[in-house]
């Protein structure tokens, strides 16, 4: 993993006083992870709404859900990160003000750390998954890793499947988001006694795949910082 550091701790002792030298590749509706520097293990996710380069960034309110009724809203100094293509951008910011509704403004960073990461970072999981082979009844499997591009399933039985065949998966992500139905193409098959492992690639142009991408981005933020 390559890293280019152009940041400092939140005291704004930047390498440059000219914010025009720093440019974030922000895209509306992309996910941003936000946390308090004093408690980096607690993470809030929000959406980018807009920005004025060198001045401020507009995001949805960064809140950490405590329970169904209570959420902790992050303000003050913030540690932020966003993913764009194969790069993770990490920077310190400060809460500025509430703009309207659940939209808030944070300071545009003067320093940024840029890290190059794998396009499809594999995340180890243990997810109960229902797998449909055509019109047959769904079969139970365990998902053992996942990325934006695909996943790996383990069956406690030998299953009849061939490379390039299309399966349909249904499962609930660890962040309690349900993927109701997503198509995946078989890329690899491994059989060990009665166990069958299958490597799959997702159709990444669907609404369901966006749920997986958001989950994987959040995990990337946690793992990289």
Give the confidence band of 91 by pLDDT, cuts at 50, 70, 90.
very high
The answer for 176, left when phi > 0, alpha when psi is -120 to 50, beta otherwise, is left
**Closest by Cα among 95, 44, 93 to 65:** 44
pLDDT for the residue 74: 87
User: How much of the chain, in percent, has pLDDT values that exceed 90?
Assistant: 40
Tell me the per-residue pLDDT of 200-215, one tens digit each, with 9 for 90 and over. 999 877 888 888 988 8
pLDDT of residue 65 exceeding 80: no
> 143 pLDDT exceeds 70?
yes
Query: 156: which residues sit within 8 A by CB, 6+ positions away?
Result: 142, 194, 195
**CATH number of the structural domain 3-117:** 2.30.110.10
pTM: 0.58
**Mean predicted confidence (pLDDT) in 9-31:** 61
Please choose, from the candidates 120, 172, 178, the residue with its C-alpha nearest in 3D space to the C-alpha of residue 151.
120
Q: Is the dihedral of CA 221, 152, 203, 141 positive or negative?
A: negative
DSSP string, 155-212: ESS-----TT-EEEEEEE-TTS-EEEEEEEEEEEEEEETTEEEEEEEE--SSHHHHHH
CATH 2.40.10.220-classified regions of the chain? 123-219
Domain 123-219: homologous superfamily in CATH:
predicted glycosyltransferase like domains (2.40.10.220)
Measure the CA–CA gap between 167 and 197, rounded to whole angstroms: 14
Phi, psi of 213 (to 5 degrees): -60, -45
How much is the pLDDT for 118? 66
- The CA-atom distances, in angstroms, between 172 and each of 130, 142, 208, 215, 217 are 10, 12, 11, 11, 16
Indicate where the chain has its CATH 2.30.110.10 domain(s). Answer: 3-117
Which tens digit of pLDDT belongs to each residue from 144-177?
A: 999 988 999 999 988 889 999 999 999 999 888 8
């Amino acid at each position: 993993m390559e890293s280019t550091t152009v940041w400092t701790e939140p005291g704004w002792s930047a390498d440059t006083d000219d914010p025009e030298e720093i440019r974030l590749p922000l895209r509306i509706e992309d996910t941003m992870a936000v946390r308090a520097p004093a408690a980096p293990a607690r993470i809030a996710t929000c959406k980018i709404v807009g920005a004025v380069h060198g001045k401020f960034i507009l995001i949805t309110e960064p809140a950490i859900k405590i329970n169904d009724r209570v959420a902790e809203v992050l303000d003050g100094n913030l540690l932020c990160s966003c993913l764009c293509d194969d790069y993770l951008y990490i920077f310190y910011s400060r809460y500025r003000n509430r703009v309207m509704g659940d939209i808030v403004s944070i300071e545009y960073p003067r320093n940024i750390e840029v890290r190059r990461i794998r396009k499809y970072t594999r995340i180890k999981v243990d997810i109960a998954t229902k797998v449909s082979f055509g019109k047959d009844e769904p079969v139970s499997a365990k998902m053992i890793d996942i990325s934006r591009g695909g996943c790996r399933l383990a069956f406690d039985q030998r299953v009849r499947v061939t490379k390039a065949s299309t399966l349909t998966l249904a499962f609930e992500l660890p962040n309690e988001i349900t993927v109701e139905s997503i198509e995946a193409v078989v890329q690899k098959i491994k059989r060990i006694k009665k166990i069958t492992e299958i490597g799959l690639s997702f159709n990444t142009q669907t609404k369901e795949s966006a749920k997986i991408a958001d989950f994987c981005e959040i995990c990337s933020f946690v793992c990289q910082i």
